[in-house]
Amino acid sequence: SQQGEEDPQALSIQEGENATMNCSYKTSINNLQWYRQNSGRGLVHLILIRSNEREKHSGRLRVTLDTSKKSSSLLITASRAADTASYFCATVLSGNTPLVFGKGTRLSVIA
Amino acid sequence: DVKVTQSSRYLVKRTGEKVFLECVQDMDHENMFWYRQDPGLGLRLIYFSYDVKMKEKGDIPEGYSVSREKKERFSLILESASTNQTSMYLCASSSPGQGAPYEQYFGPGTRLTVT
Task: Give Cα B85 distance to the centre of its chain.
Answer: 13
Closest chain A residue by Cα to residue B38: A103
pLDDT tens digit sequence for A83-110? 999 999 999 887 778 888 989 999 999 9
> Cα separations (Å) of A28 from A39, A90, B44, B100?
31, 13, 20, 13
Q: Do β-strands B110-114 and B10-13 pair in parallel, antiparallel, or remain unpaired?
A: parallel
How far does A17 lie from chain B, in Å, by closest CA? 26
Kindly state the average pLDDT of the residues A44-49.
Answer: 94
Q: What one-character-per-residue DSSP string does A20-36 give?
A: EEEEE-SS--SEEEEEE
For residue A91, with 0-12 CB atoms within 10 Å meaning exposed, 13-18 middle and 19 or more buried, which class applies? buried
Closest chain B residue by Cα to residue A94: B100
pLDDT tens digit sequence for B16-60? 999 999 999 999 999 999 999 998 888 999 999 999 989 999 999
Residue B13 has pLDDT above 80, yes or no: yes
Identify the pLDDT of residue A96.
73
Identify the pLDDT of residue B59.
93
Identify the pLDDT of residue A41.
87
Residue B110 has pLDDT above 60, yes or no: yes
Identify the pLDDT of residue A3.
67
Strand partners, A50: A31
Cβ–Cβ gap A42/B58 under 8 Å: no
